[in-house]
Amino acid sequence: MSRSSEARSPLHMPPGTRVVVATGNPHKVDEIRAALAFTGWEFVAAGELGAWPEPDETGTTFIENARIKAEAAHALFGLPALADDSGLEVDALDGEPGVYSSRYAGPCATDEENNRRLLLALGDTPGARREARFRSVIVLLAADGTEVVAEGACEGRIGTEPRGGAGFGYDPLFRPDAVPGRTMAELSMDEKNAISHRGAALRALAALLGHAKEH
């Protein structure tokens, strides 16, 4: 089941706000634009505004890394900035890969390499002990630097082999509790957004900003 938590410093930004999304991942930008379709708001990927030297994610928690990215984009472009940090936590691995999810198999690891590393780490761990969750933390900085934080999670378990051709990251291995029998990579974008960790965090952020998604 997905869940979300309250932000720490609610704020309101007027229509016409342009927000830079501090990521080089186009999948994240697409999900953010779809979930935060507010009248008059424009979400622009950092790379669309100019050179975007992504900062080193030196934090030990998702919120620390999200804040590092949001603050870097805010300082570089002088615009409100939004950043997400997310990852997979596997109970049998004491929460790994966690904040190292995107580089679990090495600094330049591909999704396939990270998935193989995860399966190797779990070995023959039985299905009942393969519980895991995707977790997402979003930091939004207003033009004046005021911060809002929203969180979301999606519970599930890790399969024994990849399935499905959609999504990215660990989606082919993650079987969400909310959709029994399928991996995240076997869901449509709408199905995924309805249950995903990032979808939950984005809905929490929208509510905290006093907006409803436009249809």
Q: What is the pLDDT of residues 29-38, one digit of tens each?
A: 887 887 787 7
Domain 3-208: which CATH number of 3.90.230.10, 2.40.10.340, 3.30.70.60, 3.90.950.10: 3.90.950.10
Q: How many CA atoms lie within 13 A of 121 on its CB side?
A: 19
Query: Which residue ranges make up each domain of the chain?
Result: 3-208
What pLDDT score was predicted for residue 121?
Answer: 98
Most distant CA atoms of the chain, gap in Å:
53
CA–CA separation, 144 vs 71, rounded Å?
A: 11
Residues of the chain with pLDDT under 50: 1-9, 212-215
Q: Which residue has the tokens 């890394």?
A: 65
Distance CA(179)–CA(145), nearest Å, equals: 39
> Mind listing the pLDDT tens digit for each residue in 92-127?
999 999 999 999 999 989 999 999 999 999 999 999
pLDDT at residue 154 in the model = 98
Contact 22, 168 (CB under 8 A): no
**C-alpha torsion sign, points 37, 38, 42, 46:** negative
* 76 neighbors 141 (Cβ within 8 angstroms): no
**Residue carrying the six token digits 């999670």:** 153
Q: What is the mean pLDDT of the chain?
A: 88
Q: Which residues are catalytic?
A: 85
